[in-house]
């Protein structure tokens, strides 16, 4: 007999509603799920797991997201992090994988989220394949996959990742899925769709449940063969259900190429770390506090405006910021060539932390409080392709009321939101290797975990 167990993480299944949490990091994840569901985006949990502190300590949250929805989903994470005063580290692990680490200065709970825009699996015969997550939209409800589809994908995951069948986590999930597919009462959440996804007696559902139960009863010596057979059967069931699976012989090559690119980036003499955010978001304070509490070797800090003010010191006829914004294309053009020359001529290897970056000058009208229309500069589209890609983008954020209280006469709220949208566009498109959404809502006396994580990330930039 198989040892069926409740869903790992506290008994909430793949289709169970999200539980609200008082922990800021978990609240950010729950709010991101809610926002994506309201917007009708393809984003949800791949495997059942409850949003609790205990479940977060045991491991990560595996999620799927349509490539076209990733930018909007990242925006939900950013907005909810602003609301709850949390920090979010965003890293690109693979060509189709993003890793998010959510922490808060007010709580020790850390949440690790892995978001797959395309799933990787192994076909019968050992061939590599990919499963576009956009095809899972019709099997998703309330941020979770249908139990039968989730169970089949998990079987392919066991083979692709070479999981240990004796692991307690693996056996717990297999036991849960076996009950969820059959619609049994000991699988909480299996009826959250109004009925079990696969009714008892249905041939595909019975075959899938049989494969799950067989794995639970498999001896250690036959585990690898049993996983391979179950994975092959699951691939066939996914195809019968209408899930699109594509052969991808270059999948392994792309993963290795990305690894090589990371190593090649380590050869750069001057990795760039721009610190971004609208006026009042706390950029200067974050940099000053970072260097006051931590020591770094070979790090230089300067303002982006220094790059184009090399050629003209002051402009006459009005406020300096407004005059520079009117000539934003010229400023970006000059800054690009000055930065390129400096990276070639300055031989000493060191990291460059830059206050603002090219993105802040992609639009005109941002700092003009009288002009409500924002105009994209003609040079912006061309410049976006050749601008040096940063290794790490730091985006400072805080609630809008706090930002306005710090600098009430600088930027309109609409302009600040537009700047944040520009930053998120660049991060979601992969223009940087990683990004850090740093909350400045917490007083400096209480700032600890976020600042330590930022310092560790800056030291790790190569």
Query: What is the spatial distance between Cα 97 and Cα 243, in angstroms, rounded to a whole number?
Result: 20
For the chain, domains (ranges, CATH) are 24-252 (no CATH), 266-460 (3.40.50.300)
pLDDT score for 370? 64
pLDDT score for 379? 66
pLDDT score for 202? 45
425: which residues sit within 8 A by CB, 6+ positions away?
Answer: 71
C-beta of residue 362 within 8 angstroms of C-beta of residue 377: yes
Q: How far apart are the first and last CA of the chain?
A: 53
pLDDT score for 113? 93
pLDDT score for 190? 35
Low-confidence ranges of the chain (pLDDT < 50): 1-19, 184-203, 317-318
pLDDT score for 377? 64
pLDDT in tens, 79-90: 999 999 999 999
Query: What is the spatial distance between Cα 106 and Cα 23, in angstroms, rounded to a whole number?
Result: 9
pLDDT score for 186? 34
pLDDT score for 265? 58
Q: Distances in Å between the alpha carbon of 63 and those of 45, 50, 148, 311, 317?
A: 4, 13, 16, 49, 53
Q: Parallel, antiparallel, or unpaired: how do β-strands 375-376 and 363-364 relate? A: antiparallel
Query: What is the spatial distance between Cα 187 and Cα 266, in angstroms, rounded to a whole number?
Result: 48
pLDDT score for 223? 87
C-beta of residue 384 within 8 angstroms of C-beta of residue 357: no
pLDDT score for 23? 85
C-beta of residue 18 within 8 angstroms of C-beta of residue 34: yes
Give the residue from 420, 350, 343 showing the smallest Cα distance to 389.
343
């Amino acid at each position: 007999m198989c040892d069926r167990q409740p869903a790992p993480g506290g008994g909430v299944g793949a289709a169970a509603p999200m539980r609200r949490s008082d922990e800021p990091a978990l609240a950010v994840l729950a709010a991101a799920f809610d926002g994506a569901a309201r917007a009708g985006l393809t984003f949800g949990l791949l495997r059942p797991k409850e949003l609790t502190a205990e479940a977060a300590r045991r491991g990560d949250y595996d999620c799927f997201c349509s490539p076209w929805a990733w930018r909007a989903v990242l925006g939900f994470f950013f907005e909810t992090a602003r609301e709850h005063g949390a920090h979010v580290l965003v890293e690109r692990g693979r060509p189709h994988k993003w890793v998010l680490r959510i922490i808060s200065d007010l709580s020790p709970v850390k949440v690790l989220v892995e978001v797959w825009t395309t799933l990787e699996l192994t076909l019968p015969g050992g061939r590599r394949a990919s499963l576009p997550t956009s095809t899972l939209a019709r099997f998703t409800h309330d941020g979770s996959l249908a139990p039968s589809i989730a169970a089949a994908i998990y079987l392919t995951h066991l083979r692709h990742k070479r999981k240990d069948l004796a692991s307690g986590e693996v056996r717990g999930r297999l036991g849960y899925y076996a009950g969820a597919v059959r619609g049994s009462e000991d699988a909480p959440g299996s009826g959250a769709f109004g009925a079990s996804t696969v009714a008892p007696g249905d041939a595909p559902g019975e075959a899938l449940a049989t494969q799950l139960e067989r794995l639970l009863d498999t001896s250690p010596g036959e585990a690898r063969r049993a996983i391979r057979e179950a994975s092959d059967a699951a691939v066939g069931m996914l195809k019968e259900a209408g899930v699109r699976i594509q052969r991808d012989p270059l999948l392994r090559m792309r993963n290795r190429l990305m690894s090589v690119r990371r190593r090649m980036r380590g050869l750069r003499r001057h990795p760039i770390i721009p610190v971004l955010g609208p006026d009042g978001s706390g950029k200067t304070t974050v940099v000053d506090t970072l260097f006051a509490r931590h020591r770094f070797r070979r790090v230089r800090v300067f303002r982006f405006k220094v790059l184009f003010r090399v050629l003209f010191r002051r402009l006459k006829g009005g406020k300096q910021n407004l005059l520079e914004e009117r000539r934003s294309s010229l400023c970006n053009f000059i800054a690009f060539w000055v930065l390129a020359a400096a990276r070639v001529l300055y031989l000493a290897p060191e990291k460059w932390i830059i206050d603002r970056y090219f993105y802040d000058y992609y639009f005109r009208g941002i700092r003009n409080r009288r002009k409500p229309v924002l105009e994209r500069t003609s040079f912006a589209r061309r410049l976006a392709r050749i601008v040096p890609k940063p290794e790490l983008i730091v985006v400072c954020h805080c609630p809008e009321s706090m930002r306005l209280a710090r600098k009430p006469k600088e930027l309109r709220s609409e302009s600040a939101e537009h700047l944040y949208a520009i930053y998120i566009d660049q991060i979601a498109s992969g223009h940087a290797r990683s990004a850090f959404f740093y909350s400045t809502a917490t007083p400096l006396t209480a700032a600890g975990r976020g600042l330590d994580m930022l310092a560790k990330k800056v030291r790790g930039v190569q």
